[in-house]
Structure 1
Amino acid sequence: MSPSPELSAAQRNAVTELLRVSPVADELGRRFAKAGYELHLVGGSVRDALLGRLGDDLDFCTDARPEDTLKIIKGWAEATWETGREFGTIGLQRGGLRLEITTYRAESYDGVSRNPLVQYGDNLHDDLVRRDFTINAMAVSLPGHEFADPFGGLQDLAARVIRTPGTPAQSFGDDPLRMLRAARFAAQLRFDLDPAVRTAMEHMAADLDRITAERIRDEVSKLLLGADPVTGLRLLVDTGLADRFLPELAGLKLEIDEHAQHKDVYEHTLKVVSNAAGYDTADGGPDLVLRLAALLHDIGKPATKAVGADGGVSFHHHEMVGARMAKTRLKALKYPKDVIGPVVALVGLHLRFYGYGRGEWTDSAVRRYVTDAGDQLARLHKLTRSDCTTRNKRKAALLAADYDALEQRITRIQAEEDLARVRPDLDGNAIMELLGVPAGPVVGRAWKHLKELRLERGPLDRDEAEAELQRWARAEGLLP
């Protein structure tokens, strides 16, 4: 099939984008050519060039072996690394770009793990056919800029479809992680899956059990950070892939009958994820912690669902149950502590705001809200606002106004007090001196009591704090 005029234009755009970095890429290509080897820009780098989004990380393939690559770049590369050498990959840095050069591969897989049995190839075609999707199986030669697309990746890119170079069954059988990558690319690029790819994912979902938790975690994170995470999440659930590593997500599809109506928790969750994806971090990037919290905020509902005598449905304490479940799931997926801790805290706090509009919150309650949220307060604001998915415009407006009022109140109290560093009005040394006790459990209990007073009443002056400490100590039998 000959390319359409639009595809030809896209091809020209790819070369134009490549020329942006040609001082490095072409120079590298000339070094390989002089040494008698081929070099091609390949895979995701070509795909991104075609999409006009080529970044600073470039992938190349060559018929040179790793030891030959090292000789060619010696003295030219500003830095090199060999962490991927066992798979034929040599990394280097030059001119602000990170380059990875991989020897042509024609490996097979052992059918048990996702680890390839590395076999070097001797031609570009065999290297491209082993790649995951056609949109990642294109190449541009260097320095000649000849375009290679043996599997129609350019056509698929124009059609915005994800397809495999060979049969999906063979591709996913070689490496089941590619099924998650298909969902991830759908989320990142807003592409559709070829029907054969989707069918294979449904039939082969159990093969994902061969993949390590760390690999799954990385793909899930990339999916969540994509431009359209909801599309990717729907694919994971609809194909059964999510059941292999995140069964709680599909479990949100609670049965709804005519006698016990309640919001569709699954659809609500996806909407909350979509809302959360609308927020950016301070540096303009997507926030993994916020999106994970949005995804997991209601996973405690199925376990806490109860139907009352009047047919009303409740999910009492689902936020606390959900926080425990979120911690267990994230640990199983090998997320680091600096992700698990904030996500669990956000899930546990996401309901705290409700009730504020009824006028029940004192300044003490606001202080506790801020103190309990700690350094996650900004994210908690975003998650709480994202959690409002009602279609009732009046109710949505009231909730937004209530939260605006809460944020304004927090700002006012923060201006009067340092809520970010709420401490008792007496420190440990003062407590020991006034009570005449050594360091130990008594000091800890006294410190906690004074902190509770600080949260309840705000800052106390020194005389008030000392009087309250003595009152507490007498009640505890520590003073006459």
Structure 2
Amino acid sequence: MSEASAPHAAERRELTAAQRNAVAELLRVSPVADELGRRFVRAGHELHLVGGSVRDALLGRLGDDLDFCTDAHPDETLRIIKGWAESIWETGREFGTIGAQRDGLRLEITTFRAESYDQVSRNPVVVYGTSLDEDLKRRDFTINAMAVSLPDHVFTDPHGGLDDLSAKVIRTPSTPGESFGDDPLRMLRAARFAAQLRFAVHPDVHLAMTEMAADLDRITAERIRDEFTKLLCGADPITGLRLLVDTGLAERFLPELTGLKLEIDEHAQHKDVYEHTLTVVENAVSYEEEGCDFILRMAALLHDAGKPATKAVGSDGRVSFHHHEVVGARLTKARMKAMRYPKEVTAKVTALVAMHLRFYGYGRGEWTDSAVRRYVADAGDLLPRLHKLTRSDCTTRNRRKAAQLAADYDALEDRIARIAAEEDLARVRPDLDGNAIMELLGVPPGPVVGRAWKHLKEQRLEHGPLNRDAAEAELLRWARAEGLIG
């Protein structure tokens, strides 16, 4: 790999060291990348590894998804890779992108672009470019505006991306105002990269994000949702979340988060509920066993969303937020619907928010086995996440209190395990199914069967498993009380 240019000795030394890291990563994929590059050159075209692939190679974390740019248009790209690629897809063709797979690598090959943006939706309108420099200039950040030409491995970095990568700073190739004016989503993307890479945004970028935050309103909910999801699943979501709030971007699509800054928690253990929430998110991340659990992180972020609307100050001056979990669940559902999250994801996050306070009070010894069964039954397959969310919500600085809460929850989990060993808590169902109910009562399918089933489930939760004779006797007793049989 050779240098495109290096006017200063210090830059040359730094570039060479960084390139050594990149070479080690590129060697793993170069048989495929170089072979593809030769095919394009033979056809009279250019091919460059570009964007996130170069950035990640320089960071020593290149994956199996590779991004390329070329002067070839999509039809020409298809002709070049046909018969060479193991599979080809054209889902990104309208944006000039052709996808392919070879030797376990996913390749996306995009024609040079000089994008313009629809002034209403701010969705990109593709205009093909004519040069690598033009393509790199239109990219979002300097760390994504570097390229490695193939197959000769010439490194191109016209906007100082390598220096910014070394300094761990997020900066734009053109002025931030021009860049964000082209696509306001880039402001949210800056926060996302801060969270993913643990980088800081340049002061000029921060200022532009603050001044232009309202421009985010022109972006579709789906595009905002996708960027925000990546941010929350970043290695350091707290940095990204703080950036959203500090610049005013959160107010444009997630005002519940900003609203938490106004509320002081009832125990004065944190600067405000906002700081408590960020700590809960951080705790939730620490409980993850493998990869990002978006549902857990989102529930941690919104678990106290109902506090601003339920704040009350008592005669003794103490602040309370009664039933904030109910209000918070309603707000969570509405917000995630507005952000176009799938219904099943929204339902799970909403359920966790609604249940996050259920544990409190257990330590006073008020829970019967019936209450434990209901806790497990209501949580369903969310129980492991509910365990983690409840533990994450303990942020008190009082060591004695923290230790007591942890011990109480340990005791609850042990109790759940004990009862589960005796019963099948994972499948708490009535002791008679619908067919047995219809046969015993002599009724057809309909509302009566549903009511009987619900009654038997309540008995199951209250008293534990019943044998067949006891279950039938209880059903007949209920039916007589309801006037269904004599």
Superposition TM-score tier, normalisation by shorter sequence: over 0.9
1:212 aligned partner: 220
Alignment match of 1:279 (pick from 283, 287, 292): 287
2:86 aligned partner: 78
Q: Which secondary structure state, in structure 1, belongs to the residue aligned with residue 67 of structure 2?
A: strand
List 4+ stretches of structure 1 deviating above 3 A. Answer: 259-263
The amino acid of 1:337's aligned partner reads K
Q: Which whole-Å CA distance do the structure 2 matches of 1:261 and 1:62 have between them?
A: 58
Matches within 5 A, 1:310-325: 310-325=316-331
Asked if structure 2 preserves the Cα contact closer than 8 Å seen for 1:260 and 1:307, the reply is no
Alignment match of 2:445 (pick from 439, 449, 453): 439
Q: Which secondary structure state, in structure 2, belongs to the residue aligned with residue 21 of structure 1?
A: helix
Asked if structure 2 preserves the Cα contact closer than 8 Å seen for 1:106 and 1:130, the reply is yes
Percent of aligned pairs with the same amino acid: 79
Alpha-carbon distance, 1:469 to partner: 1.8
The amino acid of 1:66's aligned partner reads P
Q: Which secondary structure state, in structure 2, belongs to the residue aligned with residue 140 of structure 1?
A: strand
Asked if structure 2 preserves the Cα contact closer than 8 Å seen for 1:111 and 1:173, the reply is no
Q: Which secondary structure state, in structure 2, belongs to the residue aligned with residue 132 of structure 1?
A: coil
Matches within 5 A, 1:17-416: 17-256=25-264, 263=270, 264-281=272-289, 284-416=290-422
- Deviation readout 1:173-207 (Å, 9 max, x if unpaired): 00000000000000000000000000000000010
Alpha-carbon distance, 1:255 to partner: 4.5
Give me the TM-score of the superposition, normalised by structure 1. 0.97
CA RMSD of aligned residues (A): 1.5
The amino acid of 2:63's aligned partner reads G
Alpha-carbon distance, 1:12 to partner: 2.1
The amino acid of 1:448's aligned partner reads K
Alpha-carbon distance, 1:88 to partner: 1.2
- Deviation readout 1:301-326 (Å, 9 max, x if unpaired): 11111111111221111111111111
2:4 aligned partner: none
Q: Which whole-Å CA distance do the structure 2 matches of 1:184 and 1:137 have between them?
A: 17
Q: Which whole-Å CA distance do the structure 2 matches of 1:226 and 1:41 have between them?
A: 24
- Deviation readout 1:292-343 (Å, 9 max, x if unpaired): 1111111011111111111122111111111111111001100012211111
Asked if structure 2 preserves the Cα contact closer than 8 Å seen for 1:326 and 1:344, the reply is yes
The amino acid of 1:280's aligned partner reads E
Distance 1:349 1:255, change over 3 A: closer
**Tell me, which stretches of 5 or more residues in structure 1 are unaligned?**
none
- Deviation readout 1:258-316 (Å, 9 max, x if unpaired): x99575211111111111111324xx211111111111111011111111111122111
20-29 vs 102-111, which deviates more?
102-111
The amino acid of 1:123's aligned partner reads S
Q: Which whole-Å CA distance do the structure 2 matches of 1:95 and 1:429 have between them?
A: 54
Asked if structure 1 preserves the Cα contact closer than 8 Å seen for 2:263 and 2:308, the reply is no
Alpha-carbon distance, 1:20 to partner: 1.1
The amino acid of 1:336's aligned partner reads P
Asked if structure 2 preserves the Cα contact closer than 8 Å seen for 1:300 and 1:319, the reply is yes
Alpha-carbon distance, 1:4 to partner: 5.7
Alpha-carbon distance, 1:141 to partner: 0.7
2:460 aligned partner: 454
Q: Which whole-Å CA distance do the structure 2 matches of 1:279 and 1:225 have between them?
A: 14
Q: Which whole-Å CA distance do the structure 2 matches of 1:451 and 1:107 have between them?
A: 60
Distance 1:154 1:445, change over 3 A: same
Q: Which whole-Å CA distance do the structure 2 matches of 1:261 and 1:190 have between them?
A: 30
Q: Which whole-Å CA distance do the structure 1 matches of 2:118 and 2:354 have between them?
A: 43
Q: Which secondary structure state, in structure 2, belongs to the residue aligned with residue 278 of structure 1?
A: helix
Q: Which secondary structure state, in structure 1, belongs to the residue aligned with residue 262 of structure 2?
A: coil
- Deviation readout 1:23-61 (Å, 9 max, x if unpaired): 100000111111111111000000000000000000001
Q: Which secondary structure state, in structure 1, belongs to the residue aligned with residue 68 of structure 2?
A: strand
Asked if structure 1 preserves the Cα contact closer than 8 Å seen for 2:123 and 2:219, the reply is no
How many residues get paired? 477
The amino acid of 1:446's aligned partner reads A
